[in-house]
């Protein structure tokens, strides 16, 4: 066999051309020039546009299908049930689902002299999502620049008005869509990390936390979703996935464990009907746990203070 | 209220500069110039590199967390159990998991005079994955160009040798990573679509099928994952998610429904242990169903003919 050495990086070009906005190494770079982008152009405009929104939260998970969108929509609904005015920005351009989960299916974003008007769903929650732009058969194959354009549009040209909360649902991955939104809302109040109990999910969620830490955002804590399943026949709880992953992740990363949301068929039903479970089924364990998590989030970000 | 009109597209630049490789509208374009890229440069090199692999399959789902990677690794294992030599290319750069699922954790890709040497896992399956390049704490925030570079590296410079199968695991989304790999293996033998029963998953899987159809790849069929859960206490099957979504999707898209894989804690255990469930637990329903699906896939792509 030929002499072999281990590969520790793949041959991709990482040279610097001082175009910070589009740089893959943005958060690993300490050149002072990169701060200039926050003081000018569309980033400044975005900051002004969302300046009348009191609190900004980001929901991440790194891995797909762990329930980021469901929990983001249900945190939005839980906050609205507490009397807050809430907007949800769906950063998932390829496979948007927020419009379905918040009862906005079939509605479209509007355009007026004040800019893009959000769609409005259950509990008067505003939704800004490609799900209210595209038809079912329309597929986006945008690479980085167009994705950044779309993020800019959704922040710079939407007529949010005065709101209590902006929640951003970030899709799987740690690259384009994650970096774009973190760059545009550098003063977000905190990050909620969603994971499921399985071991492989933790490794990916770990990477998502690292990116948010690089962006200097406070990590509010970890929520473990799909945590156990209560059999509708015998009532016994079992674990379709491994357990305890969320608590382990939180401990490893030195962040708070916010709580568990068990698997429940009612979650799936409420999602399909476009009415968040915390609103439609307030008495199930998932809803009770989530309201406690929301209380804790508001406490941590200093709501009302 | 101000006069309002519906938005049907977001303001992003779609003008043409004849740089086909990096174009977001590649599959919607019918200019003859775009075919030139297949006849030269790295695309030609990629074609030569994988020319000694008999069959190429692609596993997609559009949505994250539906079990694309688990099923991709288990189809690989099932094929290996049938005596085939199999390589798995993990197109998920941000959150790779294939190395964990195939027992390659801690192994590294090697470099010899023949190029990049794949890692080798259970059943002698070759793995080409960033999971065998990065450390746990290392996070990629690559945008489009570097992602394309990495796809090129994994196809042009890997010493696959003679193999029966190359399976590519495509991450969530329909953009950069999906388009890159579909462009580089335009003669793939077919696409396996993975979905879960929930309604929102179908909309996203639908979009993934549309992209593969635009790339003129044959859709072999749809597999419904996480389809029902058997309670370990009472033995009754129940449905943590809605049911029937996979069959409905297949019918709507005019493609074959290949079968169902039920939720089973043993799947999660085998994944964590780096030994595919079809190999570790060949007698569970999930494994029996998967082997039938594999037989059908080999029949459809004309294996051995």
Domain of A251: which CATH number?
3.40.50.300
pLDDT in tens, B17-47: 777 777 777 777 777 777 776 667 778 888 8
Q: Map tokens 């058969």 to a residue.
A: A137
B153-182 burial, b if ≥16 CB within 10 A, otherwise e?
bbbbbbbbeebbbbbbbbbbbbbbbbbbbb
pLDDT in tens, A75-126: 999 999 999 999 999 999 999 999 999 999 999 999 899 889 999 999 999 9
Coil/strand/helix, residue B86: strand
According to DSSP, residue B275 is labeled S
Name the maximum alpha-carbon separation found in chain A.
69
Say whether residue B178 is in contact with chain A using an 8 A CB cutoff: yes
Tell me, what's the pLDDT at A231? Answer: 79
**Between chain A and chain B, how many beta carbons pairs sit less than 8 Å apart?**
294
Rg (CA), chain B: 20
Report residue A113 as tokens: 């002299």
Q: Is B240 on the interface with A (CB under 8 A)?
A: yes
Determine whether the interchain pair B7/A110 forms a contact, defined as Cβ–Cβ distance below 8 Å: yes
Which chain A residues are within 8 Å of B276, Cβ to Cβ? none
Q: When comparing pLDDT for A233 and B58, which is higher?
A: B58
Chain B residues inside the 8 Å CB shell of A146: 12-14, 24
Q: What span, in angstroms and rounded, lies between the C-alpha atoms of B193 and B199?
A: 15
A17 within a domain of the structure (yes/no): no
Stretch A177-181: mean pLDDT: 91
Q: Does some domain include residue B3?
A: no
In a domain, A8, yes or no: no
B264 and chain A in contact, CB less than 8 A: yes
User: What rounded mean pLDDT belongs to chain B?
Assistant: 90
In this predicted structure, what is the pLDDT of residue B87?
98
pLDDT range class, residue B1, cuts 50, 70, 90: very low
Q: What percent of chain B has pLDDT over 90?
A: 60
pLDDT number for residue B31: 75
Whether residue A237 is contained in a domain is answered as yes
Structure tokens at B103: 């027992």
Whether residue B29 is contained in a domain is answered as no
Query: Do A234 and B234 count as a contact with CB atoms less than 8 A apart?
Result: yes
Asked if B144's CB is within 8 angstroms of A144's CB, the reply is yes
CA of A292 vs chain B CAs: smallest distance (Å): 23
Give the B window 57-76 contacts with A, CB below 8 Å.
62-66, 69
State which residues form the domain around A49: 40-299
CA neighbor of A176 nearest in space, from A256, A99, A94, A121: A94
Residues of B in contact with A234 (CB under 8 A): 231, 233-234, 236
- Residue A3: predicted pLDDT: 57
* pLDDT tens by residue, A17-73: 777 777 777 777 777 777 776 667 778 888 888 999 999 999 999 998 899 999 999
Q: With an 8 Å Cβ cutoff, are B176 and A241 in contact? A: no
Q: Does A18 touch chain B (CB under 8 A)?
A: no
For residues A291 and A35, give the distance between their C-alpha atoms in angstroms, rounded to a whole number. Answer: 38
> In this complex, do B206 and A136 lie within 8 Å of one another by their Cβ atoms?
yes
Is A108 within 8 Å of chain B by CB?
yes
Q: Could you report the per-residue pLDDT of A126-166, keeping only the tens digit for each?
A: 999 999 999 888 888 898 888 988 999 999 899 999 999 99
Beta carbons of A242 and B130 less than 8 Å apart: no
CB burial of A199-224 (b: ≥16 within 10 Å; e: otherwise) equals: bbbbbbbbbbbbbbbbbebebbbbbb
| B21 domain-assigned | no
- Residue A50 in any domain: the answer is yes
Q: B167: which strand partners?
A: B57, B88
Q: How far apart, in whole angstroms, are the C-alpha atoms of residue B88 and residue B182?
A: 15
Number of domains comprising chain A: 1
Which tokens belong to A83?
């009397």
Span B123-152, pLDDT tens digits:
999 999 999 999 888 888 898 888 988 999
pLDDT tens by residue, B78-106: 999 999 999 999 999 999 999 999 999 99
Chain A interface, mutation test: which of B135, B139, B153, most A Cβ atoms within 10 Å?
Answer: B139
Q: Is A48 on the interface with B (CB under 8 A)?
A: no
According to DSSP, the residues that pair with A88 across neighbouring strands are A127, A167
Verify whether the Cβ–Cβ distance A139 to B214 is below 8 Å.
yes
Cα–Cα distances in angstroms (integers) from residue A99 to residues A5, A118, B276, in the given order: 49, 11, 36
Q: Do A133 and B171 touch (CB under 8 A)?
A: no
The answer to whether the Cβ–Cβ distance between A111 and B153 falls below 8 Å is no
User: Is B17 part of the contact surface with chain A (CB cutoff 8 Å)?
Assistant: no
Any domain includes B126: yes
> Quick check: ipTM above 0.90?
no
């Amino acid at each position: 066999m030929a002499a072999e050495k281990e590969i520790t990086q793949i041959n991709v070009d990482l040279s610097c051309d001082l175009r910070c906005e589009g740089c893959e190494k943005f958060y690993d770079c300490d050149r002072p020039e990169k701060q200039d982008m926050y003081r000018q152009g569309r980033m400044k405009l975005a900051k002004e546009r969302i300046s009348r929104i009191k609190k900004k939260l980001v929901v991440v998970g790194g891995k797909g299908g762990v329930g980021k969108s469901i929990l983001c929509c249900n945190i939005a609904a839980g906050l609205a049930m507490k009397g807050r005015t809430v907007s949800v920005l769906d950063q998932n351009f390829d496979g948007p689902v927020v419009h379905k989960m918040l009862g906005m299916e079939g509605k479209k974003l509007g355009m007026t002299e004040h800019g893009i008007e959000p769609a409005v769903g259950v509990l008067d929650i505003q939704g800004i999502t490609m799900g209210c732009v595209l038809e079912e058969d329309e597929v986006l194959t945008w690479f980085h620049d167009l994705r950044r354009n779309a993020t800019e549009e959704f922040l710079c040209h939407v007529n949010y008005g005065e709101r209590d909360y902006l929640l951003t649902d970030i899709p799987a991955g740690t690259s384009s869509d994650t970096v774009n939104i973190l760059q545009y809302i550098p003063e977000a109040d905190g990050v909620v990390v969603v994971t499921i109990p399985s071991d492989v999910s933790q490794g990916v969620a770990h990477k998502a936390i690292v990116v948010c830490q690089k962006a200097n955002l406070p990590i509010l804590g970890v929520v473990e979703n799909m945590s156990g399943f209560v059999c509708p026949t015998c009532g016994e709880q079992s674990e379709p996935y491994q357990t305890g992953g969320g608590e382990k992740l939180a401990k490893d990363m030195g962040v708070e464990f916010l709580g568990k949301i068990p698997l429940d068929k009612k979650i799936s039903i409420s999602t399909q009907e476009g009415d968040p479970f915390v609103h439609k089924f307030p008495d199930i364990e998932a809803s009770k746990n989530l309201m406690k998590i929301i209380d804790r989030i508001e406490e941590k970000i200093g709501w009302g203070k």
